[in-house]
Amino acid sequence: MKKTSGRLADGREIIYYDLRDDVTRTAVDRRPLPAARARSEIRHDPLLDDWVGVTAHRNTRTYHPPADECPLCPSREGRMSEIPESDYDVAVFENRFPSFSGAPGKEEHEDPRALFRHAPGAGRCEVVSFTSDHHASFADLDEERARLVLDVWTDRTDALARTPGVRQVYCFENRGEEIGVTLPHPHGQIYAYPFTTPRTARMLRSVAEYGAGHGGANLFDDLVAAERAAGERVVLDGQYWIAFVPYAAHWPYEVHLYPKARVPDLLALGEGARAEFPGMYLELLRRFDRIFGEGAPRTPYIAAWHQAPFTPGGGPDGAAREEFALHLELFTIRRAPGKLKFLAGSESGMNVFINDVPPEAAAGRLREVAS
């Protein structure tokens, strides 16, 4: 993998990742862009004890551009995009409309009881364009290209974890207009948060409580072992990875992919797991596209890497970090052909999910549509 870093016209960084070492990246972004000046703020919710990003500048972000104006396609004569080169393997660049950006600052409050706490929305948001082919999808990549993306996720996790103020790195992909995607070009994103996300914090609390009540046993290890022993929800079982529909799946079709040897993040994966991942993951994505039958529109999904948090600056986060298990969650909001699972009153109002598809039935379907 060859890595080449450059700058866009407004000062944002762009990084090319190429399979070949002899590739040269020298194209210049000649767009007349003003200097990037995104400003984000985070505000604390004292009832839920979590942080909310406030980002007024994102209201003007690019929304469903015509195909010939896609900002993720390579640049060509007469039309410059976010990627100045005429072709590329994988390109990563700072988001023009980031949810989090800049250096950390002092937390402040506006009242005597510190109920109205706020701070700069420090961190970084990046766009990862998986391929220069506008009409492709991640599932269309071959294993070599999928491995390149895994290496990119790992490299960016390493770099962002060492960024001042960053607490957690989150690599993810949204696919499909139903999910809310505004750019159809195959891409994902990486968020470098200035705090541990609420979902991860909740997992860590559960892990700590379970260990205290079960002689120090690890909840992730026991859960994966239990799903493997039960078998009925297992979708794929490889040498280094296992994929299953969780017993209490929240979404109609939801698969969790775990390395069998627990590691806290992508950086800690061994070569065996790295080599096996592309085939396993591509098979899962291709099965997702067959869930609802041949000829059905491609299945919208979210693919989310869960990694252990870091202390700001990239150091270990104590015992909690060592107890965490890297895993990928893949799920769709489509519950049946032409029907979506909406997060309505119970889910959005009380965070109580109601799943219309029994996890065992979902796992059975995902086994039926194997390649």
Could you give the 3-state DSSP secondary structure of residue 255? strand
Kindly name the residue from 187, 256, 306, 327 that is annotated as catalytic. 187
| Type of residue numbered 352 | V
**Distance between CA atoms of residues 307 and 255, nearest Å:** 17
Beta bridge partners of 118: 43, 108
Structure tokens at 95: 């988001």
What's the Cα-to-Cα distance from 307 to each of 169, 195, 352, rounded to whole Å? 7, 13, 24
* Closest to 127 in 3D by CA, of 72, 179, 87: 72
Alpha-carbon gap, residue 323 to 309, rounded angstroms = 11
CA distance 194 to 104: 8
- Tokens coding 291: 């869930």
Residue 187 annotated as catalytic: yes
- Please answer whether residues 210 and 197 qualify as being in contact, where contact means their C-beta atoms are separated by less than 8 angstroms: no
The arrangement of strands across the sheet holding 253-259 comes to: 2-7, 13-18, 90-94, 124-129, 187-193, 168-175, 301-306, 327-332, 253-259, 241-244, 234-237
Beta carbons of 27 and 82 less than 8 angstroms apart: no
**What does 36-94 look like in DSSP terms, one character per residue?**
P----EEEEETTTTEEEEE-GGGGGS--S--GGG-TTSBPBTTB--SB-SS--SEEEEE
The H-or-E segment that residue 361 falls in is helix 359-368
Residues with catalytic roles: 187
